[in-house]
Each structure stands twice: as structure tokens, then as C-alpha cells.
Amino acid sequence: MSYFDASTKETVNCPVLVCVLPASGYTYVEALCSAHSDHLFFGLNHCLRYIGGVPRNVLSDNMRQFVQKNSRYEFTFTDLAVQWSVFYGTNLEATRVNRPRDKPSVENHVHISYMRIYARLRNEQFSSLESLNHRVWELLDEHNDCHLSRRTESRRDIFLSCERPLLSPLPKEAFIPKRTTLAKVQKNYHVELGEDKHFYSVPYRYIGQQTKLVYDSMNVEVFTGMERIAIHRRNPRQWGYTTLPEHMPDSHKYYMKTLAWTREYFESIARKAGAFSEQLFKKIMDSKEFVEQTYRSCMGLKRLMEQYGHERFESACRKAVEAGGKSYGIVANILKNGTDKNDTPNNTLIIPEHENIRGEKEYK
């Protein structure tokens, strides 16, 4: 089957998944994006949802997305196929190589699908995979509701009476394919998911160790042995980094804390102590050409506030502002000497700010 992609002006051919229950002939048909295993298993999810349950056994042909190795006495299925069967609690089997008679029901219904679905769509055009499948499922319902020859029952009637009661219930959530890969923890305590070229953090104590990444379309989990040491939401951005603060060493945590320093941040802190505190913070941040150069002084004032309390800190800032001071050292000396506790005028000689005073930068 195919649809026309208007953005690329190309006709996109789609492989088709056909599934059938053998007793009733109840059929499921879906056009897939590609024959990739992820799309195949999403199609199988839709099939189980369509029939409303899980059969006890699933028989497939020898498609490489499903069967890894097929010998006369034993089958080896792909990791995704095993995950899918374990998730739904069903058994897997495969037909022998070049033995179509091992699965006559589905072979016959591929032929019927050509006649009742393919043939009726040959003159219709579709603009997307969704619109194509919507039309396929309309014709599929007609096929399953059509009476069998020389019988008064349809495939759906036989399915509901004979097979539906034997199906196991579906789990609450659909199966999401998971993949695995190996990655060594780099010196920056990140591992690379090669498929996306994206880096995810792990606790820094695992630097240099080999890890196993288990990922799906939503999440990325990192394991060492049987222990999961990190879990992240998957991010497809190439060469990007997803980092959790708890994975960082202390030195990096301090650096990350500095990244949150902004003018608004320090003004909000000063506002908690009082108007003079806010005024002093603003004067300090305005004293440099680049406000980032004053953030360490502001951090020092913040610690003084935490050490001496809001009331004493506000009183010290009032004395510093009245004296024309605008530095961490002046406030620290006032608090250390206890000058903030008395109401005597501050006799410290400080040159007042004035437009006629050029300042030290004029003499450099």
C-alpha cells in the first residue's frame, strides 16, 4: 500500500501487517511506516487492542525482526520479540523455513486482504499514513462482519462466541520496545547514548566503569550489573547533555549554584531584611561595569544576613548607607564591632558620591 507525501512530493510505500485468529478467521490489517522492528511491535500492540485480549500462542513467519535463528528443533527470537512475549504473557513460535503450509490461515487471509482491501483502494489516494489506515480499518470491519459463504455467521460472530472468552486480558499499558547498549562513564560523569548522540549523567563515583543503557522512546535507564544507578527522560537533541544535580561532585554543585545568581535573585534576598538592605545591595551591584563582578560580595552579605539575623543586618546596612559605604567589608566591620547596636552617629569618614568626583578609573 502507499500514500502521497505532499511535503516531499513522493509516493511512500508501506509494508502491511496481517494477523489472523485461526478458528474464526478474525483478521487484523495495518499499514506500517516501515518494516523496522519498532513499527512492527507497535502494529502488534494495535492488533491485540483490536481483538481485545492476548492469545496463548503467537505463530510468525521467519521475518528477521522477529526470529533471530531458526533451526529444525529450536527457535531463537530477537530480544524485542522476547520482551514483547514476556510483557503480554504469551508463547512464541515460528514456522519452518520455506514452509508456508505451517501457517495456512494467515497465508489465505493475505490473499483475501488483497481482494477485499487492496483492490478496493487501488483508485483511492491518501495524504498520510493515518488516513490510509483509517480507510483500511473501515474495509477491515466490513470484511470481519461479512457472512461466511453458506453460513449465517460472520468472522466476528465466531470470534466473540468461541475465541474471545479464551483470550487473556490486556495489561493496562501497551508494550514499549526497549533497546540496550553499553557505554563507559566518561570523566565528566556522563554516558553517551550513541543512537541519539546525547549524554546522560550518572553519580560521579562511577567514573571509568562500564554501564548498560536500557532505553525506549520515553526513558533512558543506566545499570551497573543488576543495579540501576540513573534514570532520565529521553532527549533526542544531538550533542546535548542531561544532568541531574545529585550526580555532581561538590565542586560542580557550587559552580551550578553560581549559575543561578542574578540581580533579581539578590534583590529579592535583600528585600527580606528591609529597605536599607535592598538599597545597599543595589548600590554594590551598580558599582561595577559588569554586575557579575559584584555577585561574590552579594553572597558575602547574604551570609552575614544569615549569621546575624535580619534585624541586625538591616541596622548595619542603614549605618553603611548613611555613611555612603557600598562594600561588603564596611557592613562586616559594623556587625563585628557591634556598632549596629547603638544609635550614635557613624563618624567614619567616607567621601560622599558627587558628580564632580571623577573616581579612580580616571587615573588608570
What type of residue is 140? L
Chain region(s) in the chain for CATH 3.30.420.10: 2-166
pLDDT in tens, 107-136: 888 888 889 998 999 889 999 889 999 999
Digit-coded pLDDT (tens) for 138-148: 999 999 998 88
Q: Residues 192-225: pLDDT tens digits?
A: 998 888 999 999 899 999 999 998 877 899 999 8
Cell, residue 352: 560622599
Q: DSSP 3-state assignment of 51?
A: helix
Q: What is the pLDDT of residues 306-326, one digit of tens each?
A: 989 989 999 999 988 888 888
pLDDT (0 to 100) of residue 344? 56
User: Is 0.85 surpassed by the pTM of this model?
Assistant: no
CATH domain 2-166 topology: Nucleotidyltransferase; domain 5 (3.30.420)
pLDDT higher at 350 or 37: 37
Report the half-sphere exposure of 198 (CA within 13 A, side-chain side). Answer: 18
CA-CA distance, 273 to 276, in Å (whole number)?
8
For the segment 170-180, the average pLDDT, to the nearest whole number, is 87
Q: Give the angle 93-129-104 at the CA atoms, nearest 5°.
A: 30
Residue 103 makes CB contacts below 8 A (sequence gap 6+) with 59, 61, 95
Nearest to 85 by CA among 217, 177, 218: 177
Cell of residue 360, nine digits: 579612580
Selected residue with higher pLDDT from 170 and 324 = 170
* Predicted pLDDT at 355: 61
Residue with cell 555613611: 323
Q: How confident is the model at residue 349 (pLDDT cuts 50, 70, 90)?
A: very low
| DSSP 8-state secondary structure symbol assigned to residue 234 | -
